[in-house]
Amino acid sequence: MNPIPINLAVEDPLSEVVLRRLLANSSQDFAVGEVYMRNGFGYLRKNIAGWNAADKGRPFLLLTDLDASECPASLLQTWLSVPKNDNLLFRVAVRAVESWLLADAEGIATFLAVKLATVPANPESLPDPKRV
């Protein structure tokens, strides 16, 4: 079976690594094409309309952080004023992709060589998981 071509749009290198890892562990086989990244959500927000209107044959997987926004649905509504194309896969990390990593307390403690007790118990509730 041929791999599914997909482009990525991310805030930073960490988000790219996380998406690549998720795709590699998927039951589907993906072939990552272009990766669009310019350090932060501003670039993603500015370009989302173009990616939404892009070639319908190659999906775009966009990952951004929720940060201080109310919820993923309102974030998408704020960023995109037209209906979302089915090939625009819009994903939001609550509060930030760092929260996802901190959620694996044992894994992150081992990776960072810190005591498990120093890893926060509820990373999604942290106001600034990047700083933690």
Give the pLDDT band of residue 125 (cuts 50, 70, 90). confident
Q: Average per-residue pLDDT in the chain?
A: 91
- 131 alpha carbon, distance to own chain's centre: 18
Token pair for residue 2? 């041929």
90-119 mean pLDDT = 92
- The average pLDDT across 93-106 equals 91
Q: What is the pLDDT of residues 25-81, one digit of tens each?
A: 999 999 999 999 997 899 999 999 999 988 677 899 999 998 878 889 899 889 998
Residue by residue, DSSP assigns the chain as -PPEEEEEEESSHHHHHHHHHHHHTSSS-EEEEEEEE-SSHHHHHHHHHHHHHS-TTS-EEEEEE-TT-S-HHHHHHHH-SSPPPTTEEEEEESS-HHHHHHHSHHHHHHHHT--GGGS-S-GGG-S-TTT-
Between residues 33 and 132, the one the model is more confident about: 33
**3-22 tens-digit pLDDT:** 999 999 999 999 999 999 99
Strands 88-93 and 4-10: unpaired
Residue 31, classified by CB atoms within 10 Å of its CB into exposed (0-12), middle (13-18) or buried (19+), is exposed
Degrees, nearest 5: CA angle 68-37-35 = 130
How confident is the model over 79-91, as pLDDT tens digits? 998 999 999 999 9
User: Residue range 95-107: average pLDDT?
Assistant: 91
CB neighbours of residue 129 within 10 Å: 23
Residue 55 is predicted with a pLDDT of 67
